[in-house]
Amino acid sequence: PFGVDEILIQSLQITDEFEMPGRFTSECLKRGKNTDFISRMSHWTYGGEEFCRSRHVRRAICVLGIEDLQLLSQYPTIMANK
């Protein structure tokens, strides 16, 4: 099925029983943590590969590479897509 891999890790990440570091639980919501973009950062590249640092695009989403580590460190998201 399409998309299963895109929700599995996030599902594991929020499950209290697994005690994953950095997990996001209902306690975060109770404390008023911002959840606007908490689950996943996607770098959409409708303009083509020239807008993607790795120069690798799959289904209009930039496949992130080592070139993107500094950018990723600035995002509040738990996961990055691709």
Write out pLDDT tens, residues 20-77: 777 777 787 788 876 666 666 777 887 767 778 888 888 888 888 888 888 778 876 6
pLDDT single digits (tens) 4-32? 666 777 777 778 888 877 777 778 778 88
Closest CA to 54 of 42, 68, 73, 44: 68
Domain count of the fold of the chain: 1
Point out which residues pair with 41 in neighbouring strands.
80
The pLDDT of residue 56 is 86
* Structural domain for 22, as ranges: 4-80
Report how far residue 82's alpha carbon sits from residue 73's, in angstroms, rounded to the nearest whole number: 15
Q: Where are the alpha helices (DSSP H) in the chain?
A: 4-14, 26-30, 69-72
pTM of the full predicted structure? Answer: 0.49
**What pLDDT is attached to residue 27?**
80
Whether residue 4 contacts residue 20, with contact meaning beta carbons closer than 8 Å, is answered with: no
Surface-to-core class of residue 58, CB atoms within 10 Å of its CB (0-12 exposed, 13-18 middle, 19+ buried): exposed
- Round to whole Å and give the CA distance between 17 and 59: 34
